[in-house]
Structure 1
Amino acid sequence: MQDIAAAQSEIQASVHETKIKPNDLLTIVVSADDPTAAAPFNLPITPTYTPNGPQINTVQQLQTYLVNDQGNISFPVLGTINIAGKERNEAVELLEERLKEYIKNPIVNLRIVNYNISVLGEVAKPGNFTVQDEKVTVLEALSLAGDLTIYGKRNNILVVRNQGDSTKVNYRIDLTNSDFMKSPAFYLQQNDIVYVEPNRAQVQSSTYNRNTPVYISIASVLISLIVLITR
């Protein structure tokens, strides 16, 4: 981001909208003017039990819809609905339009609950992270992982994205150039993988044998003994 100040006036905020993909887990809550009329279109709430010392905590949890490989969900009363590939707002509009046949003024609240991203490589805390608000930039992802280490390449960060049908798309991001904010990978999508490559110094150090000082010490001792014996 070395030229971020000069480029600030030229960079426009990207419009980000999450698209639903196969294997996504969704919570969908339907409400209406008449709660009784909306009830058949909601999955039952199930209790989840977690131990807490001598007591057991009970949490009411919404059941989820799984988007299958064909991009469909099985919705109460409405049946099979193809939803993959649609933006979240498009999916909400589709469901509300179908629900208008049965109830008045339906309101649909849809969320992706398995919105995960993975950050690997030269970061302080690599791992898999769940994003609550369905909107995360590559900078926010790196901050979740504790930022890059001093050995991470800042000009060649890899973002691997699954486009469906097992197709992988790779993006390269250069954090030293503000143009990365215009990249399709600036806003991450669910199940994206961010990989920070090690720089040359770290790669070279990985070939260094940590036992070398021990071997040198042993050799020095042996040489000293040989010199003493042969005198």
Structure 2
Amino acid sequence: MQSILKYGLSIGLFCALILTLFSSCGSRKNMVYLQNDSTQINTLYDQHVPKIQVNDILTIAVTAADPKVTVPFNPASSMSNNNMTQSVDMALRPTYTVDSNGDISLPILGKVHVLGLTRLEAIEKIRAQLSLYIKDPGINMNFNNFRISVLGEVARPGSFIMPTERVTILEALSMAGDLTIRGVRENVMVIREVDGQKTMHRMDLTKQNALNSPYYYLAQNDVIYVEPNKAQINNSKLGANTNIIISISSLVITVISILTR
């Protein structure tokens, strides 16, 4: 009977050892963002303003002191009224897709080349052309498809439409519910398309130097990928075997309990 008991305990200890081997303890240096060091922060948003790309969708509204003169330039604006909410009014504003040549087709003005321009640069270019028709025109322009995707070890992976083009990787991760405890903060990947070519850049978010990365400020259609840590990978390898080990342990304990009554 004692040999059976020892055998059962040995199996239990073996199972516990196996489960322990596939787990790991995290440390502060692996978990805390932007840890203090001697890095000098010198990143300026002006150096990394997103540029307009092919297939971008731009919402453009023309304003002026006399709203009547803007009607030909705002095809949907005649549907607006003072009772509409801001979100409804924005939805009614005309949108323009940047074609393969980098142009948008505006009423009256025709094709305007905006590829490679920042939003503010495009506004100034359109305003200059509108000045031929309207005195002191105003331009409201926004990206209608500034989408960021976050994948991997985050609480809520998915794609997010940003309300502004000024967005950082930390803000995007916060929208995805932050990294899980299993996410590797030292090796976060940003995938970006530049002139039709995919580029990949890895960032160590535990270091303050991440603030100096040219990928700290995101561009439209960026994809952020957070890889799992070793413990999570090992746990996935263990997979269904965990249930088998637990079942065997429970069976052994049950048998021992019956035999030792």
Greater helix content: 2
Of 66, 71, 87, 1:39 maps to 71
Report whether the alignment pairs 1:205 with 2:229. no
Of 21, 35, 51, 1:2 maps to 35
Structure 1 residues 91 and 211: CA distance shift in structure 2, 3 A: same
Matches within 5 A, 1:11-26: 11-16=41-46, 17-26=49-58
Structure 1 residues 102 and 177: CA distance shift in structure 2, 3 A: same
Could you tell me whether the CA contact under 8 Å between 2:43 and 2:213 is conserved in 1? no
Q: Which has the higher contact order (CA 8 A, sep 6+)?
A: 2
**SS of residue paired to 1:136:** coil
**SS of residue paired to 1:101:** coil
Could you tell me whether the CA contact under 8 Å between 2:58 and 2:96 is conserved in 1? yes
* Cα distance in 2 between the residues matched to 1:216 and 1:124: 28
Percent of pairs with identical residues: 45
Structure 1 residues 176 and 112: CA distance shift in structure 2, 3 A: same
Structure showing greater radius of gyration is 2
Matches within 5 A, 1:1-231: 1-3=34-36, 6-7=38-39, 10-16=40-46, 17-45=49-77, 59-60=88-89, 61-165=92-196, 167-214=197-244, 217=247
* Cα distance in 1 between the residues matched to 2:247 and 2:64: 79
* Cα distance in 2 between the residues matched to 1:66 and 1:133: 17
Q: Deviations over 1:183-224 (max 9, x none)?
A: 1110001110000011111111111132454377469969x9
Return the offset for 1:163.
1.0
Return the offset for 1:13.
4.4
- The residue number in structure 1 matching 2:18 is none
Give the TM-score of the pair, scaled to structure 1: 0.82
Runs of 5+ unmatched residues, structure 2: 1-33, 80-87, 256-261
What RMSD, in angstroms, separates the aligned Cα atoms of the two structures? 2.5
Count of aligned pairs between the two proteins: 211
Give the TM-score of the pair, scaled to structure 2: 0.73
- Residue range with higher mean Cα deviation, 204-213 or 170-179: 204-213
Greater strand content: 1
Could you tell me whether the CA contact under 8 Å between 1:138 and 1:187 is conserved in 2? yes
* Cα distance in 1 between the residues matched to 2:51 and 2:200: 18
Q: Deviations over 1:154-190 (max 9, x none)?
A: 110000011132x111111001211111111100011
Runs of 5+ unmatched residues, structure 1: 48-58, 226-231
* Cα distance in 1 between the residues matched to 2:76 and 2:176: 36
